[in-house]
A and B are shown apart, each in its own frame.
Chain A
């Protein structure tokens, strides 16, 4: 599974989340990208990132069953590509 699992991530400072019935809208004020988080549980994971030492703990804290981790990791990687989330342990580099 992705190395991301053991890294610390967080919501990018220029991103705001707006709760919506289906999950949330994420808007990046810098690159002006609008992204849809299509599951409420993904929103919980994203919000938990900054509070947890690594992505694995954030997934566990959000109660995501291990079988679904690959799908969630994929979603997180897509968010990282749009700079919606970024590495919090920045000295290790910001690449995915």
Chain B
């Protein structure tokens, strides 16, 4: 690694990770912004295809480069990656070039035939998104029919003999009580449960207040993870909970730009999949001479890899394990990046949320312009518990009315 000649050669793994690696460990590549669903909390505000989407040839060239960099596997997502017509080709191309693939899907294209194909490949991992253990809870945020689609996909995979699929759950206020049910569901399909933190990224910014687990639920989650932590995956996304007093297994640090990275459908490179915003844009694989150059020389990444001040957190007894939490969660709630996480379990986030702050707008938006029948209905069913009475008139409301910045969310590997 070039710019960092001053890095120490020894020291703990965490310290080494803070200085960054020659190639990312956890690289997410979103193949398309197009999606059949319109999940309320979509981290990438997906819906419509971007006309600048990388072509098949450009994707192949990127895979060649990842192979040269020895990026051993890539997390493919979207949008819904399987609706790209060349998805299955790119999957085979990557595997043939020693880049293993783990892809996230809502299940829409996992037919019995595709499931059999997947079961016959090595080096491919499938992760089906499900945000409720019941249709009621899931479809509330992911849209009507999405529960059935996901379960059909999991059934097809199990029937085809696909080993160890993942069920990927974003933990919310509504499903945090269903953790045991999720586990049972995973067991039923011979799958592994994967829990990640809800972050106020993409469309998630608009629903974070309503959906992020309440502080007492954070404790429930922490206790559950302490008991079941070895049987579930978390993408190391809950390390802010370490401030309850005990570290969870995994990597306890924000990996953005250090070991974590996102390549978006048009080739833009961001520090983290949850940080799609100009502030965290490091370059573009087409216009900046490839991914390796960006990863190794982008000034943004050099900055993220240089020692960071703990700000208000450095006084905290739990700073060593919590490290101030998630950069994206702080950024999209308008909190200082060197201060506490908005969901700080020691309660410092709440006081910071009441201070003056400006919530940054979305970085990009590929949401569908008009609602379709797949749109979740949560916004119309939502009960406004914060209102003591009806608004004077519907149109007299501030556009941010009901936005409670005191809510928050988290991450995945």
Residues of A at the B interface (CB closer than 8 Å) are 16, 18-22, 25, 27, 29-30, 32, 34, 36, 38, 40
Contact = CB atoms under 8 A, between A and B. Distances in A.
A31 B72 CA distance: 12
B10 to A, nearest CB: 7
B38 interface: no
B16 A21 contact: yes
B13 A36 contact: yes
B98 A22 contact: no
A18 B22 contact: yes
8 tightest A-B contacts by CB?
A27-B72, A18-B70, A22-B16, A20-B21, A20-B22, A36-B13, A29-B123, A21-B1
A22 B9 contact: yes
A36 B123 CA distance: 20
Contacts of A19: 22
Given A29-B122, A29-B123, A32-B125, A21 B72 contact: no
Interface of B: 1, 7, 9-11, 13, 16, 19, 21-23, 25, 70, 72-73, 98, 100, 122-123, 125
Given A20-B21, A20-B22, 9 more contacts: A18-B22, A19-B22, A21-B21, A22-B13, A25-B21, A27-B73, A29-B123, A34-B72, A40-B9
Given A21-B9, A22-B16, A29-B98, A16 B70 contact: yes
A38 B13 contact: yes
A3 B125 CA distance: 37
Given A27-B72, A29-B100, A32-B125, A21 B22 contact: yes
Q: Which of B16, B21, B72, B122 has the most CB of A within 10 A?
A: B72
A30 B9 contact: no
19 contacts: A16-B70, A16-B98, A19-B22, A20-B22, A21-B7, A21-B21, A21-B22, A22-B9, A22-B10, A25-B25, A27-B72, A29-B72, A29-B98, A29-B100, A29-B122, A30-B122, A34-B25, A34-B72, A36-B13
